[in-house]
Structure 1
């Protein structure tokens, strides 16, 4: 669909005149192109204009001049309409707050709730209006530069567009006021008195990605049930608070790999402060991973320090007694003093033993939603998420500069920062055992606005994106296409040298440097960002990783490409045939890969051994038949030939089953180790092997039937008495029957595996 038509369809009837006139601007571009074709480019060349000199020749403005006049008028129109509508919303909110404070009965409360919801819906419509017009200006400027390449203006005018008040404006104060109205109407201050230390409370944390275009919609849905929680009024800008967290690690990224592999008791150490100003008070936090499947809960502990104490603490020069004395003077209980003292010493010993230093900083605006004194449902929504290297690539490190965090005056290079393209939502529930979450929470999760990303970590993402030459493994979500553009923006222009011991190494010889985002077309950039989150597809990184794992770890180093044809054949074989789409609740993309428990590997081994059991059964029968046939003293005849024929048919089937079972075992083990969100069932193998066995049995039956017909024709209607069956003949009959029964049992077993 053309954008102009799409813009017209999205217009509200009462706002139809306020949208950018896309068609008029497009017509002016075509007229400018026609003038260029007739008059030439020289009429549009840059020129100096004096305000005191009148143009002597053509006094009529050219089509391109009229285009820019019309474009500027459209920008001013959008700005004026946005400012007017925001003013109306603020006035409506002010009146609504006065009516709420005046008190209302049940009927009036319902009316006030409807008014608040109407204000929120209109705010969301205004945001869509701004985004749609913003995209319209981008599109029309791109079309101008495409049709008039001699006078490009897109780069300049987009900078001008970004500085417009209706684009840069922060209207989050409307959501804060709306949150206060909802909270007063619900009576949160009186109702929120839950006890966090209650027995039988089950605490769960789930993390989601939210598209930036859906952030306001998600906020509006949440604040209808939870108020915006403000820890203090000073560090807030609107509804959000700026948070900086400096994560510590060493040169081998030991803490990163421990958290990535979810090793028991893996820790993360960070120094956090709140607010946009330079830190004055910071919090040293330690997060310890625990095995949830064992019933343990991960721990988060912290204590506060003054900014001037941090560097001494990291160097081991800050004594424990100083903190104890400060806490006792502040009136802290002795239990709290002992707890902080123990954490203080343990974290300081960890910094010294592991030689930890500042590595990565995460920075974001956090909006918290929670009813005061009630921790049943807590939601954190982080926007404008970015990760920064603490030590600049060119310049003094933090240690050499005598600092513990990056100097704000130093410029940040492109490869020293990565901006996350989505907002991050963290949902924390503290419910009694067996209690279901509130209905509005389930509606939010099922709304399609959230995409669950199990165990997502800003620290892991930032380290993987900013230190590609140091990491030995990467989180599974970096394969998602929606984050690819942001990671390419911070990627180095030349491929980096990877440690040979790395598990996720990529071949750099013969590969071209990765393409930067700015080198492609805008349609490609926008299309990358429109890709669905965690779409089920094999990514380039995953294919390269698996290709190298098969080719670089072979036992024949002189022939490195030996396994490539076999690998490609296996990939084509395991690609699933077209099937009827499953319900969305059953798709693997709806359930991100979780921690793999040991029983998963044992289940893969049990499946492998069950296949081997059937293969060994058939192979044993075939080998026994050949052995008895070779040791038989009977003359070669029909019975002995039949034995050898059956054995030669069934023995390759057994060998084929062993080889295929080993191949499937290796393939499933690789998928389990990578925690791939894919289907692990083999849909072709059991059916194929069952078909082979049926064909073998059919062939045995046809040969035996042909021998029987030949025997009848040879003896005619008066058969001669035959001697007693010899050992070979008897063995042929018994062994043939046993082989047939074993083959039939194998076929049924394979069909049972397929059904399961």
Structure 2
């Protein structure tokens, strides 16, 4: 959808006069036949007025929300204070319902204001781009300075969300909010833990937070302290061996026992408490769960601890003396400190990657059944001393940055600013129990994109070390694909008693230069406000009617709304693809080209052998394609790949792709789950083939020893089939074992073997009968 149409269809009716006059600014670009200094001044003046209007409204609206939250806080406190009063003086359910409705209205205001700033900021960016392209006068750097002076788009709504969360929780629980330790409830063994990660587009972050706070309160560790943005900052330093990258490889491949070692702190750089953590991956078939263990260490002792000069006994000496914790817990932490120190020293582990983000956590205190965390401003930076640069030096972390996001002082090669927020949903449900309905609706909505097993450390390390890391995570090719999706079902923030005015889920593409054929004509004179209202109402009516027609006529295929609508994953899966079973990643062809290139540089017999193998494979593939093409079979009708064909709109949206190709010299790691039963199934299949080969060999030996001369041909046929089956099964077994060991996503099932074996048996039996019939055996048997 073009931005002009998106803006018109996303207006909040009560605020329509305060949005950027995008259409008016576009018209101003075409008022003058020749663009001179006077025309530029008139346009800049109009642009300044629009900026002042938008900035002024956001300031007024923010102050209004602050006042409304303060007033609601007083009302909630007054009502909650009366809860324990006996008799008729206590509050009624109607009182709490009115408070909840008022808070819901404030939440809707925060949501609308966030969308308002997002839309207007996008509008200013696009109109400047259109100005520079149309007039050839460069305005972008100058206006960027003006935007920094009136940064209406940089308002942070986290303080609103924290306050609204507490008030809404008080009202929802009727003045009896859940209290307890936020870390409690995580050790019950009769619960099934499920963790899933999602990407969230920046356009949807505030809306998602407001949705979640209606069901779970924001987890605040220090309720007595006024909320500050720095309180939600989390920074981690990951360690690895820069020669082998063994920890990266293990975490990416999810090998049994793979470890990740990191140092983490909360808040600013002045925090003295550093947590030394080790995450250990356990395969499901082991019956054990992945473990994260950590202990606390003073920042002044970190360097000495990593060098082995500060021992685990010294770390817990004071704690033992104070006797504030059980000896069993202290001994467990001491053993962990000893193991981590041993690994750092023996494996030459050094700081390699830093991750920074602001985390908003949602959870009932003392109840870990549902925990939701949203990490925003996610940034990864290099901590190593490679490439001849001393980033951290002899220290355990670099000191030229802190929590001053977006770390503009760093060079581009040292930083990776992740474009999305990361949502993590942790559920503890009893076996067979479904997650809450709102969780299912949230994870199935257009607001999130599922990315299982996403890792900040893996992504940052792979991105920041392109010349050293050749094995990439599976999500790497998808980084350039827009994750925004059309609204799949009615889910989001709604104002009490009214429908939602905002719907900004569609992509805001650039307008084309020929949006309107009348741009070359002067704008009609008259009342600008009346004309603008008329245009807005007409545009809204047209958009609503188009949306209704689209859903009515095209339903699921168009990707519109409705119960049968296809989401992005379903539309991608519906696209026609090649006949191979695993078409998503094409890393194998890149590996073959690299292997041939290396053999060419080596020369000699190795190159000739590799070249012959490469050419033979090409010839074989060509012959197979020709053979498959001439086989009579039903073929689908090609209706084209895009646009409207045969009256049906294309379900492929811009930016959606199904085939990903690894960069040259690199390979994409596709997660493959390997359990012991996979290896056992491979061995069992090989033994079945071996048994069958022995059976065929026995038949051949019987015919050879006890048959006449005519049975010799049948014996040879069965012998050849048995030998072929034996060599084929042995080769297939060895190949499968190698692929399982490498955890490669290949076609493990056998598509051709059983069919070829049946054809071979049919040929052998036919040979036996043919030879017998041709030799007169049948007639002789009848005469006898």
TM over 0.5: yes
Whether the aligned pair in 2 keeps the contact of 1:476 and 1:675 (CA below 8 Å) is no
Whether the aligned pair in 2 keeps the contact of 1:365 and 1:383 (CA below 8 Å) is yes
Whether the aligned pair in 2 keeps the contact of 1:479 and 1:541 (CA below 8 Å) is no
Indicate how the Cα distance of structure 1 residues 671 and 453 shifts in structure 2: closer, same or farther if over 3 A, else same.
Answer: farther
In the alignment, which of 52, 67, 70 is matched to residue 91 of structure 1?
A: 67
Whether the aligned pair in 2 keeps the contact of 1:629 and 1:728 (CA below 8 Å) is no
For CA contacts below 8 A with separation 6 or more, give which structure has more relative contact order. Answer: 2
- Pairing 1:383-462 to 2, within 5 Å after superposition: 383-391=376-384, 397=390, 401-408=393-400, 411-462=409-460
Q: Distance in 1 between the 2:702 and 2:710 partners? A: 12
Indicate how the Cα distance of structure 1 residues 146 and 3 shifts in structure 2: closer, same or farther if over 3 A, else same.
Answer: same
Whether the aligned pair in 2 keeps the contact of 1:611 and 1:658 (CA below 8 Å) is no
What secondary structure does 1:376 align onto? strand
Q: Distance in 2 between the 1:192 and 1:96 partners? A: 25
In the alignment, which of 283, 290, 295 is matched to residue 282 of structure 2?
A: 290
Whether the aligned pair in 1 keeps the contact of 2:65 and 2:106 (CA below 8 Å) is yes
In the alignment, which of 114, 125, 134 is matched to residue 138 of structure 1?
A: 125
1:177 corresponds to? 163
Indicate how the Cα distance of structure 1 residues 696 and 310 shifts in structure 2: closer, same or farther if over 3 A, else same.
Answer: same
Q: Distance in 2 between the 1:633 and 1:346 partners? A: 71
Whether the aligned pair in 1 keeps the contact of 2:236 and 2:262 (CA below 8 Å) is yes
In the alignment, which of 343, 350, 364 is matched to residue 336 of structure 2?
A: 343
What secondary structure does 1:370 align onto? strand
Q: Give the drift of 1:394.
A: 6.6
Does residue 1:189 correspond to 2:177, yes or no? Answer: yes
Q: Distance in 2 between the 1:413 and 1:260 partners? A: 27
Indicate how the Cα distance of structure 1 residues 429 and 28 shifts in structure 2: closer, same or farther if over 3 A, else same.
Answer: same
Q: Give the drift of 1:295.
A: 1.4
2:138 corresponds to? 152
What secondary structure does 2:196 align onto? strand
Whether the aligned pair in 2 keeps the contact of 1:250 and 1:357 (CA below 8 Å) is yes
1:467 corresponds to? 465
In the alignment, which of 604, 607, 623 is matched to residue 557 of structure 1?
A: 607
Whether the aligned pair in 2 keeps the contact of 1:420 and 1:483 (CA below 8 Å) is no
Q: Distance in 1 between the 2:339 and 2:208 partners? A: 40
1:27 corresponds to? 27
In the alignment, which of 154, 161, 164 is matched to residue 168 of structure 1?
A: 154
2:373 corresponds to? 380
Does residue 1:729 correspond to 2:776, yes or no? Answer: yes
In the alignment, which of 247, 254, 264 is matched to residue 255 of structure 1?
A: 247
2:211 corresponds to? 221
Indicate how the Cα distance of structure 1 residues 688 and 298 shifts in structure 2: closer, same or farther if over 3 A, else same.
Answer: closer
What secondary structure does 2:233 align onto? strand
Q: Distance in 1 between the 2:623 and 2:272 partners? A: 59
Query: Per-residue displacement from partner, 1:495-524 (whole Å, max 9, x unpaired)?
Result: xxxxxxxxxxxxxxxxxxxxxxxxxx9999
Q: Name the stretch that deviates more: 445-454 or 620-629.
A: 620-629
Whether the aligned pair in 2 keeps the contact of 1:605 and 1:665 (CA below 8 Å) is no
Bigger-Rg structure (1/2): 1
Q: Give the drift of 1:191.
A: 6.3
Indicate how the Cα distance of structure 1 residues 469 and 539 shifts in structure 2: closer, same or farther if over 3 A, else same.
Answer: farther
Q: Give the drift of 1:602.
A: 5.2
Does residue 1:76 correspond to 2:52, yes or no? Answer: yes
Q: What root-mean-square deviation, in Å, do the aligned CA atoms of Structure 1 and Structure 2 show?
A: 5.1
Q: Distance in 2 between the 1:656 and 1:328 partners? A: 68
What secondary structure does 1:244 align onto? strand
Q: Distance in 1 between the 2:146 and 2:691 partners? A: 73
Whether the aligned pair in 2 keeps the contact of 1:615 and 1:658 (CA below 8 Å) is no
2:587 corresponds to? 542
Does residue 1:358 correspond to 2:346, yes or no? Answer: no
1:742 corresponds to? none
In the alignment, which of 223, 228, 236 is matched to residue 245 of structure 1?
A: 236
Query: Per-residue displacement from partner, 1:410-449 (whole Å, max 9, x unpaired)?
Result: 9422111112222112222233344332232222222243
Query: Per-residue displacement from partner, 1:92-146 (whole Å, max 9, x unpaired)?
Result: 2222222221224222223322332232223222222222222222221221122
Does residue 1:299 correspond to 2:299, yes or no? Answer: no
Q: Give the drift of 1:404.
A: 1.3
Q: Name the stretch that deviates more: 304-313 or 618-627.
A: 618-627
Query: Per-residue displacement from partner, 1:643-688 (whole Å, max 9, x unpaired)?
Result: 99x989x999x98999899899969986995665x997789x6999
2:486 corresponds to? none
1:16 corresponds to? 16
Q: Distance in 2 between the 1:158 and 1:630 partners? A: 97
Indicate how the Cα distance of structure 1 residues 316 and 680 shifts in structure 2: closer, same or farther if over 3 A, else same.
Answer: closer
Query: Per-residue displacement from partner, 1:366-388 (whole Å, max 9, x unpaired)?
Result: 11111112222112211111111
Q: Distance in 2 between the 1:432 and 1:102 partners? A: 39
Runs of 5+ consecutive residues of structure 1 not aligned to the other structure: 37-42, 45-61, 486-520, 525-530, 635-639, 705-724, 735-756
Whether the aligned pair in 2 keeps the contact of 1:173 and 1:239 (CA below 8 Å) is no
Q: Give the drift of 1:246.
A: 0.7
Q: Give the drift of 1:732.
A: 10
- Pairing 1:22-61 to 2, within 5 Å after superposition: 22-32=22-32, 34-36=33-35, 43-44=36-37
Whether the aligned pair in 1 keeps the contact of 2:350 and 2:384 (CA below 8 Å) is no
Whether the aligned pair in 2 keeps the contact of 1:196 and 1:375 (CA below 8 Å) is yes
Indicate how the Cα distance of structure 1 residues 540 and 442 shifts in structure 2: closer, same or farther if over 3 A, else same.
Answer: closer
Q: Give the drift of 1:283.
A: 1.0
Q: Name the stretch that deviates more: 474-483 or 170-179.
A: 474-483
- Pairing 1:526-605 to 2, within 5 Å after superposition: 542=587, 545-548=590-593, 557-558=607-608, 559-560=610-611, 561-562=614-615, 565=618, 569=622, 593=671, 595-600=673-678, 603=681
Q: Give the drift of 1:15.
A: 2.6
Does residue 1:102 correspond to 2:78, yes or no? Answer: yes
Q: Distance in 2 between the 1:449 and 1:91 partners? A: 30
Q: Give the drift of 1:562.
A: 1.9
Q: Distance in 1 between the 2:674 and 2:141 partners? A: 49
What secondary structure does 2:376 align onto? strand
Query: Per-residue displacement from partner, 1:256-295 (whole Å, max 9, x unpaired)?
Result: 2222222322221111111133342211111122223221
Query: Per-residue displacement from partner, 1:584-633 (whole Å, max 9, x unpaired)?
Result: xxx999xx955232434555676788799999999999999999999449
Whether the aligned pair in 2 keeps the contact of 1:392 and 1:416 (CA below 8 Å) is no
Query: Per-residue displacement from partner, 1:42-70 (whole Å, max 9, x unpaired)?
Result: x54xxxxxxxxxxxxxxxxx222211111
What secondary structure does 1:98 align onto? helix
What secondary structure does 2:289 align onto? coil
Whether the aligned pair in 1 keeps the contact of 2:157 and 2:206 (CA below 8 Å) is no
What secondary structure does 1:469 align onto? coil
Whether the aligned pair in 2 keeps the contact of 1:240 and 1:368 (CA below 8 Å) is no
Whether the aligned pair in 2 keeps the contact of 1:176 and 1:239 (CA below 8 Å) is no
Indicate how the Cα distance of structure 1 residues 81 and 689 shifts in structure 2: closer, same or farther if over 3 A, else same.
Answer: farther
What secondary structure does 1:388 align onto? strand
Indicate how the Cα distance of structure 1 residues 17 and 604 shifts in structure 2: closer, same or farther if over 3 A, else same.
Answer: farther
Scaled by the length of structure 2, the TM-score of the pair is 0.67
Whether the aligned pair in 2 keeps the contact of 1:258 and 1:266 (CA below 8 Å) is yes
Indicate how the Cα distance of structure 1 residues 142 and 461 shifts in structure 2: closer, same or farther if over 3 A, else same.
Answer: same
Q: Give the drift of 1:313.
A: 0.7
